[in-house]
Homo-oligomer: A and B are copies of this chain.
């Protein structure tokens, strides 16, 4: 029986959106299948797990295969957050034979370049996907949404340093609803999880205080093994 991993890589469209998508749209990475079944269709990056290979090691390998030319910015192979989602193992989910797929959620602060045949798609309204991958994406988005409210996963969608407006934008993008600025700030600062860097970000407006999650801060993780 084959064991595979499938990875839902989520990120947010950058401000300087060269693509057709508006800034801060949640994006999911998909690769074009070059083999049957579903040849020509989009699918989540994934692959079989090697005999001596750990599940997360397989995820990293798969991410490496989907990555593009090295570039400044976030690397696909080093997601800022990685967690196990669920395992899909219905007989018949892969027409070739029995494959049990362990799915993972990976978060990046911005979409890095990807390999030929891979592309970013709107995660909330993805194109048709092979196998049961549409369900897996839906599970990933649901998980991200719910974890935003009780954990620090947002960390995975931000760079090391960020302004409170950046953080709020992440929440608004994932939850797809506007939030009140004053209430948002009061609440997140009251949690006491953020640390001022002392630096400011400047632009053609009043400078903004930069914050970071203190080093060593761990997202509430479900069990991964």
CA A86 to CA B222, docked complex, whole Å: 8
Q: List 26 A-B contacts (CB under 8 A).
A: A1-B1, A1-B2, A1-B49, A3-B89, A49-B89, A49-B100, A51-B91, A51-B98, A53-B91, A55-B89, A55-B90, A84-B86, A85-B223, A86-B222, A86-B224, A86-B225, A87-B87, A87-B102, A87-B225, A88-B223, A89-B102, A93-B225, A100-B100, A135-B223, A136-B223, A142-B223
Residues of A within 8 A of B (CB): 1-3, 49, 51-55, 84-91, 93, 98, 100, 102, 132, 135-136, 138-139, 142, 222-225
CA A87 to CA B87, docked complex, whole Å: 7
**With contacts A49-B89, A51-B91 known, what are 13 further pairs, Cβ within 8 A?**
A3-B89, A3-B100, A49-B100, A53-B91, A54-B91, A84-B87, A85-B223, A86-B223, A87-B87, A89-B102, A89-B225, A100-B102, A142-B223
- Residues of B within 8 Å of A102, CB to CB, are 87, 89, 100
- Residues of B within 8 Å of A139, CB to CB, are 222-223
- Which of B51, B89, B223 is the one whose CB lies under 8 Å from A1? B51
Nearest chain B CB to A218 CB, angstrom units: 15
Nearest chain B CB to A143 CB, angstrom units: 8
- Residues of B within 8 Å of A223, CB to CB, are 85-86, 88, 135-136, 138-139, 142
